[in-house]
Amino acid sequence: MPDNVVIVRDESDELVGRLIKIGLGALLGAAVLGVVGVYLARDQMARHQRELFSPQPLRRLAALGYLKGQPAVDNVLLLRDYLAWEERPLLRKRAAGILAAMESDLAAETAEGA
């Protein structure tokens, strides 16, 4: 390069560079948080499904409460197994109510999709 050429950098170039770095950092942070969130949600769901067959009735009740808000075919099958296993009438009644509501919700979704 000739000696008489001067490269002038504008302050706006530096600002744009900083903003791009901040944006990429925020995007990477959001992606990491999303992955961690999915992992924690799956872990919590697996834990609640395991606790459905816990020896402690209060844990079983908590697991039923969690499953109530998770209508899915797999959970319907899980609740049917649970009803065959559970001996306490109060927990059986709660599970039967949740199962009936879940089956109704899933049937309605299926009817809407058809």
What is the mean pLDDT of the segment spanning 88-106? 95
How confident is the model at residue 111, as a pLDDT?
86
Tokens of 85: 């296993």
* pLDDT, tens digit (0-9, with 9 covering 90-100), for 27-46: 999 999 999 988 887 777 66
Q: What distance in Å separates the CA atoms of residue 20 and residue 8, rounded to the nearest whole number?
A: 21
Provide the mean pLDDT of the chain.
87
What is the mean pLDDT of the segment spanning 93-98? 97
What is the mean pLDDT of the segment spanning 17-22? 89
pTM of the model: 0.59
Q: In 3D, which of 64, 14, 69 has the Cα closest to residue 41?
A: 69
Domain boundaries, the chain: 11-113
Tokens of 112: 């809407």
How confident is the model at residue 93, as a pLDDT?
97
Q: What distance in Å separates the CA atoms of residue 67 and residue 55, rounded to the nearest whole number?
A: 18
* pLDDT, tens digit (0-9, with 9 covering 90-100), for 53-90: 999 999 899 899 988 988 899 999 999 999 999 999 99
